[in-house]
Amino acid sequence: MTEKEKCKAGLLYNANYDEELIQERIICKDLCQEYNGLRNSDAENRYRLLKQIICSIKENICIEPSFWCDYGYNIKVGENFYANHNLVILDCAKVEFGDNVFIGPNCSFYTAGHPLDVKQRNEGLEYAHPIKVGNNVWLGGNVVVLPGVSIGNNSVIGAGSVVTKDIPDNVVAVGNPCKVVKNIKEEN
């Protein structure tokens, strides 16, 4: 089993010393760097590069520079997606965003985690678990979403939150660790 296959299976894998994964990250990061260097007025090339970087995107997408990800091929973005400056997606596993997702500045989505065992960690081993963000979700600035988390439809994540566990539909959640503080009524 290759390191990439181990990663996809959710097993410990070696991301630091595997040539295939290193090369894939280099290619993706070169594209991200090119994207980040484009003028904001160059919408055509910005969209062209996003289509090269991200596995699946719709027409109405805006990611303000700077934007960084590891592979790109694990990212799926729905319709009407907006991410403010300094978006980081460590997409060792799938990262899916639904429709009408709005992301504040300095937000990060981390699918990668590292073992607690020092020996395994020092060998360069890590694991990856997918992240899923539903439809109509708003994430405030400086939000961090950790491996394996799902955020439900119509939910709002407050600025500065660290999302360590799943968040249900139709709630406001804030804090570190992020916790539900309010249900959102349908009439709102």
For 166-179, the pLDDT digits (tens) are 999 999 999 999 99
Q: What CATH code is carried by the domain that includes residue 68?
A: 2.160.10.10
Query: CA 13 from chain center: how many Å?
Result: 20
- The predicted pLDDT at position 187 comes to 52
Which residue stretches of the chain have pLDDT < 70?
186-188
- The predicted pLDDT at position 58 comes to 84
- The predicted pLDDT at position 185 comes to 80
Q: For the segment 111-130, what is each residue's pLDDT rounded down to a tens digit?
A: 999 999 999 999 989 999 99
Catalytic residues: 114
CA atoms within 13 A on the CB side of 186: 0
- Residue 113 belongs to a domain: yes
- Residue 164 belongs to a domain: yes
- Residue 65 belongs to a domain: yes
- Residue 15 belongs to a domain: yes
Q: Which residues contact 44 (CB under 8 A, 6 or more apart)?
A: none
Phi-psi domain of 86 (left: phi exceeds 0; alpha: psi -120 through 50; beta: other): left
- Residue 188 belongs to a domain: no
Question: Domain of 179?
Answer: 3-183
- The predicted pLDDT at position 68 comes to 98
For the chain, the domain total comes to 1
- The predicted pLDDT at position 90 comes to 98
Distance CA 133, CA 108 (A): 13
Query: CA 152 from chain center: how many Å?
Result: 15
Token pair 């981390």 is at which residue? Answer: 110
- Residue 82 belongs to a domain: yes
Token pair 């959640």 is at which residue? Answer: 173
Q: Is the pTM of this model over 0.85?
A: yes
